[in-house]
Amino acid sequence: MLSGLLELLAIEWEHYKRDMPDGDCLSQDMCLLSTTYLYWLFKHAGLGGWEPMEGVGQDEQGDDNPGGMVAVDGRWYSHNWLAHHSGAILDLTADQFGHDQIILSSTSDPRYHANRPPAYAMERLQSCKLGKEWLEFQLDDGDSMKILGPILTALRPGWTSELSPQAYP
C-alpha cells in the first residue's frame, strides 16, 4: 500500500519538478507537499489521529536545538512528516537524507525531532494548498484511481493494514 502511495506521489513530484534541473533525488524538497497529501488522504479515508510534524534544521534555526531529520552524514535538515497519536511516524521522503524512502517507525525514532509547535506545523500544512490539490485531482482521475481506489478501500475504518496503529505500541 505504501509503495502505491509513493508511486502516486512520484507522478506529482515529477510534474512539479519538470522545469527544474535534474540532479537531486526526486523526493528532495517534497516533504511538506507529501505530508499535506497524506494528511488529507487519511482524512478522506476517515482515519483520525495523524498530525503533521515539523522540525527546522541546524543551519536555519540559529540555536542549539536542531530539528527535522538527521541525515546519514549527521547533519540536521528541515523536514515535515506525519505522526499518529499512538506513537507511529510515517515519512515517504526520507531518502533525500540518505535513509530508506519509506519510513514507518515510532515517534521515539532518534532521526526525527519536531522543534516547531504542533499548531505551527498544522498552520503550514493548511497553507500548503498544492498537496491537497494533488489528492483532489487523483480522486477525480480514472488512471490515478486504479492505484488509489484499493488504497482507500484498505484505509477505511475497520482497516487492517501496515498503517495500523496497533503495529506500533
In the chain, how many domains are there?
1
Domain that holds residue 159: 2-167
Residue 113 clears pLDDT 60, i.e. is over it: yes
CB atoms within 10 A of CB 66: 19
Task: Write out pLDDT tens, residues 114-149.
Answer: 999 999 999 999 999 999 999 999 999 999 999 998
Helices and strands per DSSP (H, E), number in the chain: 6, 7
Residue 61 clears pLDDT 60, i.e. is over it: no
Amino acid at 17: K
74: left (phi over 0), alpha (psi -120 to 50) or beta: left
What is the structure's pLDDT at 64? 72
Place of cell 527544474: 20
Task: Write out pLDDT tens, residues 5-54.
Answer: 999 999 999 999 988 777 778 999 999 999 999 999 999 988 889 999 99
What is the structure's pLDDT at 60? 56
